[in-house]
Amino acid sequence: MAVIFITIFTWTSIRGFSCSGAHMMYGAGKNFLARPLTRRDALKTLGGAALMGISGSALPNEIFAGPSKPNIVFILTDDHRWDAMSCMGHPFIRTPNLDRIANEGVLFENAFVTTSLCSPSRASFLTGQYAHQHGVVTNHTAWDSRNITFLELLKNAGYDTAFIGKWHMPGKGLPELRGVDRFISFTKEGGQGVYYNCPLIIDGVESDRSGKYITEDLTDFAVKFIEKKGGNPFCLYLSHKAVHFGFRPPKHLNNLYDNVDLKLPPESDTWNTVTRNHLFVGALFPMKILYREYCETVVSVDEQVGRILNKLEEMHLLDNTIIIYAGDNGHFWGEHGLYDKRLAYEESIRIPFLVRYPKLIQDPGRRAPQMILNIDLAPTILDLLELNIPSHIQGQSLKRILQSADAPGRESWLYEHFPVFPIPIPGITAVRTNQYKYIEYQNDVRPKELYDLKADPKEKNNIIRATEGKKLAEELKQELERLKKATGYRFFTRG
């Protein structure tokens, strides 16, 4: 006697039913799919299949009558500037796989982080909150285990989840991260990791990775996670060390850009020991060597993004997967005489943000000018999956912008930076609008700044004392205070 195993079915009033964990059984011919599958139809079909002795595992894929929940792949890189991609017109970096995501999806031209620093920004991506809310205010502030990540919310909704890569939020080792089936990360160099031979902690067990290049190694685990796809949809959070300082491309990309004009800004010194307003901004390193290796390391990230795309395509999952690529902050390469990040200028706070999801995006290749933030990731994913967005999330869903070029964006937003010894950069708050940026420093240790971003996109002319700037400064000061109040801002004196 044939035995048929049936898993849990979720009945829907419009689109028939979906199945979790097993194939649906279908015996009435393909034309039956032309109309919605009712509960009575389903029962008849299952009964007929039982009489014929057909097992669910033997049935073809076309029996699925309803849409399945999309998978999610979020790829996060470190210190990747918004303009270090060929799709953003970089003079020599070539990123064909990132370009593909942009050409087949939406490229957000004005994406920003609310704190331009690794740990705070990464916690903001996970929680949808400002740093002053989730509490990871510097690279030395521990993760609060009470924080709720969108991975936890997706796990509760039936997703298989994995966090693979850089965690970099201090504490006693890695946290007991709720809501993940796989947690692969590292604690070497204070959680910063190294490019070669970086030990990984794989679901709590440390593993030697001698001979491994970290960007490739993490992608290997990501590919294996995708390959093991079962009956549930999945969410993969792939968090790279690249392209953070210590820049080392894989061996086959060494010297890739040895003979190109790096086109560093004219204010960039040969050595990055420059200061601005008595602020020391970097150690003693030759800027050209650093930038060349940075660019080669960006190419290595693009190669590994290509592996993810190819695997999804190979498994026929690509078009039912929401793919999002972003950086955790920008990076100065001599602009304003600066190196690194933290400060509120555009080179520091702007990031790449690309989304591919053809089932929603009807005009692929669009460049979206709306201002978006890293805190928008969590609510966007929840909204795309038609899940409730909890009230503690401070970001805004981007779903409407992905659907329509005419959807409105935010008019202003709050930038924050908290001081940490011995880095001699004070606390910062700023407000950015579509045209202006107003910056204040803790205890007024530096003069306030105001820039007209349309007339002065490189922020070289502080108009705070100019006639036209005085009234603007007062208006923007009021907007900054409004944003602080609306977001529950509080100042942390020590990280």
pLDDT in tens, 210-230: 999 999 999 999 999 999 988
CB 414 within 8 A of CB 351: no
- How are beta strands 17-19 and 9-11 bridged, if at all? antiparallel
CB 354 within 8 A of CB 104: no
> Which tokens sit at 284?
């003693």
Sheet holding 412-417, edge to edge: 412-417, 428-433, 436-441, 449-452
- Torsions phi, psi for 80 (to 5 deg): -85, 110
CB 306 within 8 A of CB 54: no
Among 184, 182, 162, 159, CA closest to 174: 184
CB 460 within 8 A of CB 276: no
Work out the widest C-alpha separation in the chain, in whole angstroms.
90
What is residue 262's predicted lDDT score, i.e. its pLDDT?
93
C-alpha 426: how far from its chain's center? 27
> Which tokens sit at 348?
């520091």
What is residue 373's predicted lDDT score, i.e. its pLDDT?
98
What is residue 46's predicted lDDT score, i.e. its pLDDT?
36
End-to-end CA distance of the chain: 68
> Which tokens sit at 2?
């044939």
d(CA 9, CA 17): 7
Give 429's strand partners. 416, 440
Contacts of 64 (CB under 8 A, 6+ apart): 18, 19, 23, 24
Using DSSP, how many helices (H) and how many strands (E) does the chain show? 11, 21
Buried b (16+ CB within 10 A) or exposed e, 209-228: beebbbbebbbebbbebbee
Buried b (16+ CB within 10 A) or exposed e, 351-382: bbbbbbbeeebeeeebebebbbbbbbbbbbbb
What is residue 423's predicted lDDT score, i.e. its pLDDT?
87
What is residue 351's predicted lDDT score, i.e. its pLDDT?
98
Among 244, 273, 266, CA closest to 336: 266
What is residue 34's predicted lDDT score, i.e. its pLDDT?
32
CB atoms within 10 A of CB 53: 11
What is residue 268's predicted lDDT score, i.e. its pLDDT?
82
d(CA 487, CA 483): 6
- Give the residue carrying structure tokens 């509490």: 135
Distance (Å) of CA 305 to CA 62, 150, 195, 216, 220:
30, 22, 17, 10, 11
Ordered by start, the domain boundaries in the chain are 9-63, 71-410, 414-487
* Residue 264 DSSP SS3: coil
> Which tokens sit at 71?
């998978």
* Residue 387 DSSP SS3: coil
Q: Phi/psi zone of residue 95: left (φ > 0), alpha (ψ -120 to 50 degrees), beta?
A: beta
Give 436's strand partners. 452
Helix residue ranges, H only, 53-149: 96-103, 118-127, 131-134
CB atoms within 10 A of CB 127: 27
Q: Which residues of the chain have pLDDT under 70?
A: 1-67, 270-285, 493-495
Domain 414-487 maps to which CATH number in 1.20.1090.10, 3.20.20.70, 3.30.1120.10, 3.50.50.60?
3.30.1120.10
Give 365's strand partners. none
- Give the residue carrying structure tokens 């999945």: 234
Q: Which CATH architecture has domain 71-410?
A: 3-Layer(aba) Sandwich (3.40)
CB atoms within 10 A of CB 416: 23
Helix residue ranges, H only, 262-398: 287-314, 346-349, 377-384
* Residue 90 DSSP SS3: coil
Contacts of 47 (CB under 8 A, 6+ apart): none
What is residue 270's predicted lDDT score, i.e. its pLDDT?
60
CA dihedral for 289, 305, 376, 361, sign (positive or negative)? positive
